[in-house]
Amino acid sequence: MKRYFFIIAFFFSFGLYAEQVKVVQLLCENKQNPLGIDIRNPMLSWQLRSEDNGISQTAYEIVVTQNINNFNSNDYVVWRSGKIISDQSVHVVYAGSTLYSKQKYYWKVRIWDKNGKVTPWSNTAFWQTGIFNYNEWTAKWIEPGYVEDTVLRPSPLMRKEFNVDKKIKSVTAYITSHGLYEAQINGQKIGDGLFTPGWTSYNKRLQYQTYDVTSMIRKGKNAIGVTLASGWYRGLLTWNSYKNIWGKSLGLLLQLEIEYADGTNERIVSDETWKSSTGAIRYAELYNGEWIDYRAAKNGWTNPCFNDSDWSNVKVTTYDNSILVASNSEPARKKEKFYPVKIFRTPQNELVADFGQNLVGVIRMKIRANKGDSIFITHAEILDKKGNFYTDNLRLAKQQNLFIPADSTEEVFEPQFTYMGFRYIKIQNYKGIIKPGDLIACAVYADMKQTGKFDCSDTLINKLQHNIQWGQKGNFLDVPTDCPQRDERLGWTGDAEVFFPTGAFNMQIDNFFEKWIQDVSADQLKDGSIPATIPNPFINHPEDDMKGSSGWADVSTIIPWEMYITYGDKRILEKQYSSMKKWVDCITSQSVNYLWTRGWHFGDWLSYAPDNDWQERAAKTDKQLIAQCFYIYSTYIISQTAKTLNNLDDYNFYNNMLSKEKEAYVNEYLTPNGRLISNTQTAYVLALQFDIVPEGTRSQLVERLVNNIHEYNDHLTTGFLGTPFLCHVLSNFGHTDLAYKLLLQKDYPSWLYPVKNGATTIWERWDGQKPDGNLQDKSMNSFNHYAYGAIGDWMYKVICGINVDEKFPGYKHIIIKPIPGGNLTFAKAELETYYGKISSFWEIKDNITIYHFKIPCNTTAEVHIPVKNVQNVLLDGKQILSGQNINDLKIALESGNYEFKVIR
Residues 284, 416: Cα–Cα separation, whole Å: 8
CB–CB of 217/164 below 8 Å?
yes
DSSP state for residue 796 in the 8-state scheme: I
Interface residue with ligand BGC, options 338, 492, 561, 834 (CB under 6 A): 492
Query: Which range, of 333-341, 481-489, 667-675, 832-840, touches ligand BGC by CB under 6 A?
Result: 481-489
Q: Which is nearer to ligand BGC, 46 or 492 (CB)?
A: 492
157 binds ligand BGC (CB under 6 A): no
Q: Which is nearer to ligand BGC, 483 or 683 (CB)?
A: 483
Min dist CB 503 to ligand BGC, Å, is 15
Interface residue with ligand BGC, options 38, 495, 562, 830 (CB under 6 A): 495
- Which residues on neighbouring strands pair with residue 492, listed in sequence order? 533
Query: Which range, of 177-185, 211-219, 490-498, 622-630, touches ligand BGC by CB under 6 A?
Result: 490-498
Which candidate, 6, 109, 110, 14, places its Cα nearest to that of 55?
14
651 binds ligand BGC (CB under 6 A): no
Q: Which is nearer to ligand BGC, 602 or 654 (CB)?
A: 602
Min dist CB 719 to ligand BGC, Å, is 10
Min dist CB 239 to ligand BGC, Å, is 8
In the set 330, 488, 830, 832, the catalytic residue is 488
483 binds ligand BGC (CB under 6 A): yes
Min dist CB 725 to ligand BGC, Å, is 17
3 state SS of 338: strand
Residues contacting ligand BGC: total by CB under 6 A: 9
Residues 728, 819: Cα–Cα separation, whole Å: 12
Residues 777-796 that bind ligand BGC (CB under 6 A): 785
Min dist CB 422 to ligand BGC, Å, is 17
Dihedral over alpha carbons 610, 611, 617, 618 (to 10 degrees): 80
Which candidate, 575, 584, 420, 453, places its Cα nearest to that of 510?
575
Min dist CB 467 to ligand BGC, Å, is 17
Active site residue 488: yes
Interface residue with ligand BGC, options 430, 454, 513, 605 (CB under 6 A): 605
CB–CB of 522/323 below 8 Å?
no
| Element at 266 (helix H, strand E) | strand 265-269
Min dist CB 792 to ligand BGC, Å, is 17
488 binds ligand BGC (CB under 6 A): yes
Residues 216, 184: Cα–Cα separation, whole Å: 9
Q: Which is nearer to ligand BGC, 283 or 605 (CB)?
A: 605
Min dist CB 481 to ligand BGC, Å, is 9
487 binds ligand BGC (CB under 6 A): no
Query: Which range, of 42-50, 193-201, 329-337, 491-499, touches ligand BGC by CB under 6 A?
Result: 491-499
CB environment 395-417: b (16+ within 10 A), e (fewer): bebbbbbbbbbeeeeebebbbbb
Query: Which range, of 268-276, 487-495, 692-700, 870-878, touches ligand BGC by CB under 6 A?
Result: 487-495
Min dist CB 145 to ligand BGC, Å, is 40
- In the chain, the largest separation of any two C-alpha atoms, in whole Å, equals 92
Query: Which range, of 127-135, 448-456, 486-494, 734-742, touches ligand BGC by CB under 6 A?
Result: 486-494
Q: Which is nearer to ligand BGC, 60 or 602 (CB)?
A: 602
Q: Which is nearer to ligand BGC, 606 or 795 (CB)?
A: 606
Residues 670, 678: Cα–Cα separation, whole Å: 9
Residues 338, 334: Cα–Cα separation, whole Å: 12
Strand arrangement of the beta sheet that strand 452-456 belongs to: 452-456, 826-832, 837-845, 848-855, 896-903, 873-875, 878-879
Which candidate, 275, 272, 270, places its Cα nearest to that of 301?
275
Query: Long-range pairs for 261-270 at CB < 8 Å and ≥24 separation?
Result: 261/166, 261/167, 261/168, 261/169, 262/166, 262/167, 264/166, 267/138, 267/139, 268/160, 268/162, 268/224, 269/138, 269/139, 269/140, 270/139, 270/140, 270/141, 270/142, 270/158, 270/160, 270/314
Q: Which is nearer to ligand BGC, 422 or 602 (CB)?
A: 602
| Residue nearest ligand BGC by beta-carbon distance | 482
Residues 720, 81: Cα–Cα separation, whole Å: 48
Min dist CB 602 to ligand BGC, Å, is 4
Which candidate, 421, 793, 782, places its Cα nearest to that of 605?
782
Q: Which is nearer to ligand BGC, 520 or 799 (CB)?
A: 520
Min dist CB 482 to ligand BGC, Å, is 4
Residues 6+ away with beta carbon under 8 Å from 881: 4, 6, 870, 871, 873
Interface residue with ligand BGC, options 179, 193, 197, 494 (CB under 6 A): 494
Active site residue 290: no
Contact code string over 563-602 relative to ligand BGC, x by CB under 6 A: ---------------------------------------x
In the set 764, 830, 832, 894, the catalytic residue is 764
DSSP state for residue 368 in the 8-state scheme: -
Query: Which range, of 182-190, 406-414, 429-437, 489-497, touches ligand BGC by CB under 6 A?
Result: 489-497
Interface residue with ligand BGC, options 384, 478, 482, 830 (CB under 6 A): 482
Which candidate, 25, 31, 29, places its Cα nearest to that of 109?
25
CA–centroid distance for 890 within its chain: 33
Min dist CB 486 to ligand BGC, Å, is 8
CA–centroid distance for 801 within its chain: 22
Residues 895, 31: Cα–Cα separation, whole Å: 24
Handedness of CA 474, 476, 482, 487 (dihedral sign): negative
Phi, psi for residue 128 in degrees, rounded to 5: -115, 130
Angle at CA 699, nearest 5°, toward 698 and 705? 90
Angle at CA 341, nearest 5°, toward 340 and 342? 90
> Which residues are part of the catalytic machinery?
488, 764
Where does this chain bind ligand BGC (CB under 6 A)?
482-483, 488, 492, 494-495, 602, 605, 785
